A and B are shown apart, each in its own frame.
Chain A
């Protein structure tokens, strides 16, 4: 096992865990497409990092965080939804990013390459993912309550606006870190697909959040391993594995539904003599 593969697996596992956990909230909040679009906003930040020779992750994070704050602010001050605002930011950022990203680095920026992870990158990604997991765990119950009923949340003195901003901050951290694994075009899938897969077979919140977290790590690590043995790019493989898991859980939920309802049959009336 090469160092690159080991680092790739470690980064993939931790980033997958964090993405799955944060993504479980994103799907419940019906922000799945927001998460996907937001990831494209990172491209100009990445490009500036490459052009001016500083850590592209910092550039990506700055661009993402700025966009998240602008979205949060405009959503509160205007009648526009987060979806509409991120939609505008995404196409604008993608256009700017494609124009200013050096051609030689564009493919890696769009699709990621975790096999080129250095020790420092790996340590940074692991540290950020651990922080995201810890902080998300702290605010998870409050965010769920806000989703179920904002009125109830406020009645128990929950600071709704600040928690939503904190959550957006955690999303930007996960997306910025996930770009290293799957690139800006596909990192939305890293966040969304494990959660949607978990949703199919989770009757309780605890199982849903745990399964989403684990499936994030499983799809990431499996993608990294498949890439290592096939020489195909990591990003698309991670997404294909994730979608495969989603289809499997969808099938499992359908089978379970048929199994539990199969003993309910209408009574056949007796034939007349």
Chain B
């Protein structure tokens, strides 16, 4: 992309068809450098499919323009490893031989975790190892698919604090899929709401508007504030 240096990603009229089903329909949005874009929507809205198109895993029509300087790190929704006898250190070495310890430390895990097998990690530990994998080669864009779907409540805050830290300290641009509107409002700058097509694209703080939520989720939805 030769225009504004601040735009890392520009998506224009993106559509994805899987078999006979139109999963994404003419999606258009852009992402500025150093921001966090949250992707919201009901189940089946096409959120994960959007990520797969951005990673060029799924065929699509339309345009996806990443900036030439982009280096992507991807954190999948979950990863279950039961039958492969592989330690955390060996798993990280599949991507890069060096930097495993520093990468783990930056997500709040100590070096002892390197010796443990992937199959014995808790949900929260596995999620942090996956983040560690994603940032190992110092990407400037992180794609996060529902970062806390397999994590207990105690670890959820920790995962989002890590995301926030990565954005602040490393200047990362983050795209994250989340179902939690409170998380979206608290941790993201902009929101892309999907329900096969774009139902909203703008500042996350506007999500407190009940009319907007009804438009996104298609029913009367009330945002109930809960105090921590």
B95 near A156 with CB under 8 A, answer yes
Write out the residue numbers on chain B whose beta carbons fall within 8 Å of the beta carbon of A151.
Answer: 52, 55, 57, 74, 76
Q: Is A257 on the interface with B (CB-CB < 8 A)? A: no
Write out the residue numbers on chain B whose beta carbons fall within 8 Å of the beta carbon of A202.
Answer: 85
A148 near B76 with CB under 8 A, answer no
Query: CA of A262 to CA of B85 in the docked complex: distance in angstroms?
Result: 24
A206 near B90 with CB under 8 A, answer yes
Write out the residue numbers on chain A whose beta carbons fall within 8 Å of the beta carbon of B56.
Answer: 154
Q: In this complex, what residue of A is CB-closest to B83?
A: A28
Write out the residue numbers on chain A whose beta carbons fall within 8 Å of the beta carbon of B10.
Answer: none
Q: Is A199 on the interface with B (CB-CB < 8 A)? A: yes
0/1 per residue, B52-74, Cβ < 8 Å to A?
10011100000000000000111
Q: Is A80 on the interface with B (CB-CB < 8 A)? A: no
B85 near A203 with CB under 8 A, answer yes
A147 near B117 with CB under 8 A, answer no
0/1 per residue, A186-229, Cβ < 8 Å to B?
00000000000001001111111000000000000000000000
Query: CA of A155 to CA of B134 in the docked complex: distance in angstroms?
Result: 10
Residue among A141, A148, A207 making CB contact with B81, cutoff 8 Å: A148
B86 near A144 with CB under 8 A, answer yes
Query: CA of A156 to CA of B86 in the docked complex: distance in angstroms?
Result: 19
A148 near B87 with CB under 8 A, answer no
Write out the residue numbers on chain A whose beta carbons fall within 8 Å of the beta carbon of B91.
Answer: 148
Query: CA of A137 to CA of B53 in the docked complex: distance in angstroms?
Result: 31
Q: Is A152 on the interface with B (CB-CB < 8 A)? A: yes
Residue among A28, A149, A199 making CB contact with B79, cutoff 8 Å: A149
Known: A144-B94, A152-B79, A154-B57. Is A205-B133 also a contact (CB below 8 A)?
A: no
B84 near A28 with CB under 8 A, answer yes
Write out the residue numbers on chain A whose beta carbons fall within 8 Å of the beta carbon of B118.
Answer: 148
Q: Is A58 on the interface with B (CB-CB < 8 A)? A: no
8 Å CB interface, B79-101 against A: 79, 81, 83-87, 90-91, 93-95
Q: How far is the CB of A238 from chain B (nearest CB, A)?
A: 25
B87 near A152 with CB under 8 A, answer no
The contact size tier of chain B is: 20 to 34
Write out the residue numbers on chain A whose beta carbons fall within 8 Å of the beta carbon of B83.
Answer: 28, 30
Query: CA of A148 to CA of B133 in the docked complex: distance in angstroms?
Result: 13
8 Å CB interface, A136-151 against B: 141-142, 144-145, 147-149, 151
8 Å CB interface, B13-58 against A: 52, 55-57
- Central interface residue in A30, A142, A144, A202, by most chain B CB within 10 Å: A144
Residue among A141, A156, A205 making CB contact with B85, cutoff 8 Å: A205
A149 near B76 with CB under 8 A, answer yes
- Central interface residue in B73, B85, B117, by most chain A CB within 10 Å: B85
Known: A141-B94, A144-B94, A148-B84. Is A203-B79 also a contact (CB below 8 A)?
A: no
Query: CA of A147 to CA of B79 in the docked complex: distance in angstroms?
Result: 11
A205 near B76 with CB under 8 A, answer no
Q: How far is the CB of B67 from chain A (nearest CB, A)?
A: 17
Query: CA of A32 to CA of B85 in the docked complex: distance in angstroms?
Result: 17
Query: CA of A202 to CA of B74 in the docked complex: distance in angstroms?
Result: 30
Assuming A151-B74, A152-B74, A205-B90, what are 20 further A-B pairs, CB within 8 angstroms?
A: A28-B84, A30-B83, A142-B94, A144-B84, A145-B95, A148-B79, A148-B84, A148-B94, A148-B118, A152-B76, A154-B55, A154-B56, A154-B57, A155-B143, A203-B85, A203-B87, A204-B117, A205-B85, A205-B87, A207-B85
What is B's interface to A at a CB cutoff of 8 Å? 52, 55-57, 72-74, 76, 79, 81, 83-87, 90-91, 93-95, 117-118, 133, 143
- Going nearest first, the 7 A-B pairs with the smallest beta carbon separation are A155-B74, A205-B86, A145-B94, A205-B90, A154-B57, A141-B94, A151-B76
What is A's interface to B at a CB cutoff of 8 Å? 28, 30, 141-142, 144-145, 147-149, 151-152, 154-156, 199, 202-208
6 A-B contact pairs sorted by A residue (CB < 8 Å): A145-B94, A148-B79, A148-B94, A148-B118, A151-B52, A205-B84
